[in-house]
Amino acid sequence: MYQILKKEMLSDKIYLMVVKAPRVASGCLPGQFIIVKIDEEGERIPLTICDYDRNEGTVTIVFQTVGASTERMALLNEGDAFDDFVGPLGQPSELCIEANLEETKKKKIVFIAGGVGTAPVYPQVKWLKEHGVDSTVIIGARTKDILFYEDEMRAVATELYLATDDGSYGFHGNGCQQLQALIDAGKSFDHCVAIGPMIMMKFVCLLTNELGIPTVVSMNPIMVDGTGMCGACRLVVGDEVKFACVDGPEFDGHLVDFDQAMARAKQYKTEEGRALLKLQE
């Protein structure tokens, strides 16, 4: 059992939990994810790792309530425990691999985090700071109330920009428009990481493609087993079919077929869609 040591509501429908999971904490790297199960019958819920403490043996996860399983998860409290907490799964971020450090140090990196995508951006920025690499971070949210982790991100980012769609805080516009404004103001970047809703990542990639900035995205399709066996998380990347759970979750954003990924995600929202996709697999 994996005990919840801390629970915090970060904003409307977004929760943070610190979970005692020493084995995952000892081996995980930014970019990777875990799959939790509340109990025997519970659905498997994939979540990116937001932070980890190897000494304490803890892993921090952040999730948004989007359906029955995450609603159930939000009812858990400090002292409760998950039945299963499997990981680390997937590939670590290329930026956060020691062997790539010299190359990474040469890059002018900008992160664009959208909504709950702030959570997986945070450990990457933190890792880079700990390894002497500068990064610019843009956090975009619909409105001020759902923006979270501002102070935490400010502590690790070299520069932090906040953007809200309704102008209630920071730049009035989305993350994409904030990036364009920075470029217009004379800033330059040669590597972008965009993590957030698929539609946001799609538009960031359209812009960075025009600007000639290589861009990495973290894909969050439906996952079932998380081990490359079920095919639920398959994506089209360039000419290839990839599985987000084992090949990703990060991919070259300029090669991802976002329209196909979004259509698939939509199908999975209905029972009929799920049945249809099962037949196709």
Binding region for ligand FES (CB under 6 A): 223-226, 228-233, 243, 245
State which residue, 76 or 224, has the beta carbon closest to ligand FES: 224
How near is the Cβ of 222 to ligand FES at its closest, in Å? 8
State which residue, 69 or 177, has the beta carbon closest to ligand FES: 69
How near is the Cβ of 268 to ligand FES at its closest, in Å? 12
State which residue, 191 or 242, has the beta carbon closest to ligand FES: 242
How near is the Cβ of 98 to ligand FES at its closest, in Å? 27
State which residue, 156 or 245, has the beta carbon closest to ligand FES: 245
How near is the Cβ of 6 to ligand FES at its closest, in Å? 28
From edge to edge, which strands make up the β-sheet containing 45-53? Answer: 81-82, 2-11, 14-20, 58-64, 45-53, 33-37, 84-89
How near is the Cβ of 194 to ligand FES at its closest, in Å? 21
State which residue, 140 or 221, has the beta carbon closest to ligand FES: 221
